[in-house]
Chain A
Amino acid sequence: MPPIIEVRDLAKTYASGTVALTGVTLDIREGEILALLGPNGAGKTTFISILCGLVTPTGGHAAVGGHDIARDYRAARTLIGLVPQEIAVEPFETVMNTVRFSRGLHGRARDDAHLEQVLRSLTLWDKRDARLNELSGGMKRRVLIAKALSHGPRVLFLDEPTAGVDVTLRREMWAVVRDLRASGVTVILTTHYLEEAEEMADRIGIIDRGRLLLLEDKARLMHEFGRKRLTVELTDPLAALPDSLAGHGLTLSENGLRVSYDYDTRADRSGIARLLAGFAEEGIGVRDLETEQSSLEEVFLRLVEEGA
């Protein structure tokens, strides 16, 4: 199946001289949830803005559904829904009217039955006649999603969808996104919350300083880049680590009962067997073993540091 979005050498330097993107190339598969992670100013929003037509690229090209975003922008944009980072709504408009407006802008005939379905899925149906300035921040964010879905897009861009949203609403948003994926919509979201990417994404892209540092299946990313920590619980406390174990980079806890050992899952040998043999040789009794996978946050920070 051809990718729903193809991006080749996409670059953007703003008139001020700020370099926001430098030669980003990637394919996005239809139906997946792709999370773009990156620190502030990494270029995530610029990337989304170019694909949606808000920003003109200074290099490279991109296509959505096989339609070039510049030459064939009408066909490309028809496939796209965008939920911006800022909560921006017309304050005096009603929910239903603003969603109808968005659908009309995409050249679609009025279809209130479809809009009812969209509003119900976002638990907004009861608020359809409410003015937008009467809604809470979370509700407004849902309205933005409803607007983006009003014309039935195949690709939905969510720029920081849960920024400033409480935990309950964040989980509800995740459920909405999962439902969208289940209905076949491709979702590209940017986020600061690593937990969000870890929770939802099929693939994760890490952007920093305008470069795509990595694009990987989440599970593989966790596997390949994850460090693990082995904690060995001892039967008797140690005053100090014996010299023969010095080469392993171990850390002894203050009470002398736990020894920690960090290892890389990508390495040919984890070193665990050698370590445990060393314990046996020194006559150190082992009560228990515990391993801990590093979180995506640690993976992310490490990649960004390495890329710097």
Chain B
Amino acid sequence: MNGRAVKTIFDHEMARFWRTPWESLASPVVSTVLYFVVFGAAIGGRIPSVEGVSYGAFIVPGLIMLTVLQQSIANASFGIFFPKFAGTMYEILAAPMSFIEVVAGYVGAAALKSIIIAVVIHLTAMVFVDLPMAHPVWALGFLTLTAVSFSLFGFLMGLWAKDWQQLQFIPLMVVTPLVFLGGAFYSASMLPPFWQGVAHLNPVLYLISGFRWAYFGMADVPVGLSLAAVTVFLALGLTAVWAIFRTGWRLRA
């Protein structure tokens, strides 16, 4: 195990995060404030509460999940795409480290960045609304598993992408719609029965529901299902990474 190499990649990625604090931290905070203004104040004023929780507080877990999914994918995909783009990938490939160690460095850093941003959004939200937390350990658990799973997907996307357009494609066309339709800003129970059925086909619904349960003790789906969903995401990501490790796909000729 080349722990020092893993730490080198990890530190290198985290350094980029801290080097551009505005892009890294201020942007998600500004977005959160905007969401609060639009959804919390303008729209939320007309929705007094959702299942006993004020609407402003209700959207916080969804908002955090939306950002965590986007940031995990963006950070991890950029992390591995940039050396490909700059041509410095040779250095990673020629280093005495296994592919799993390379993944640990990039995915670990991407996941931690997302978790830091999630905490910042949570703290920002506390300025606007009362934010109870029923199961803080579970909240951290869901957050970590989700951040790691989607950082793995981001890493795979960064490997797959051949240009900047491809890098943007899946976050824009797949992830954002899934999060918006996954109950980030509403409870699935607010939908008509048919659309409730459709919503339950969306895997992201399970993540948001589980995370919201950790906050308020209420959920669209049983928390066990949410846990199963995030485990499936993680397993899929790990399996794909393992397959790449075996074949060297998009890495070694």
Contact = CB atoms under 8 A, between A and B. Distances in A.
Given A56-B253, A74-B2, A88-B86, A105 B93 contact: no
Contacts of B97: 74, 105, 107
Contacts of B90: 52, 54, 82, 84, 88
B96 A88 contact: no
Nearest to A18: B253
Given A15-B253, A104-B7, A107-B2, A53 B94 contact: yes
Contacts of A78: 96
Given A107-B5, A109-B4, A86 B87 contact: yes
B145 to A, nearest CB: 28
A142 interface: no
Interface string A43-57: 000000100111110
A299 to B, nearest CB: 32
A90 B94 contact: no
A110 to B, nearest CB: 9
B94 A77 contact: yes
A80 interface: yes
Nearest to B94: A52
Given A14-B253, A55-B252, A88-B86, A108 B94 contact: no
Interface residues of A, number: 32
Contacts of A147: 91
A289 interface: no
A73 interface: yes
A165 interface: no
A104 B93 CA distance: 14
A108 B96 contact: no
Nearest to B95: A105
Range, interface on chain B: 20 to 34
B126 to A, nearest CB: 35
Nearest to A88: B87
Nearest to B83: A90
B96 A75 contact: yes
A105 B92 contact: yes
B8 interface: yes
Given A55-B252, A84-B90, A108 B4 contact: yes
Interface of A: 14-15, 49, 52-56, 73-78, 80, 82, 84, 86, 88-91, 97, 101-102, 104-109, 147
Interface of B: 2-5, 7-9, 11-12, 15, 82-83, 86-88, 90-97, 248, 252-253
15 contacts: A15-B253, A54-B252, A74-B96, A78-B96, A84-B87, A86-B87, A88-B88, A90-B82, A101-B12, A104-B4, A104-B7, A105-B9, A107-B2, A107-B5, A107-B96
Given A74-B96, A90-B86, 7 more contacts: A54-B90, A54-B252, A88-B90, A101-B8, A104-B4, A105-B95, A108-B4
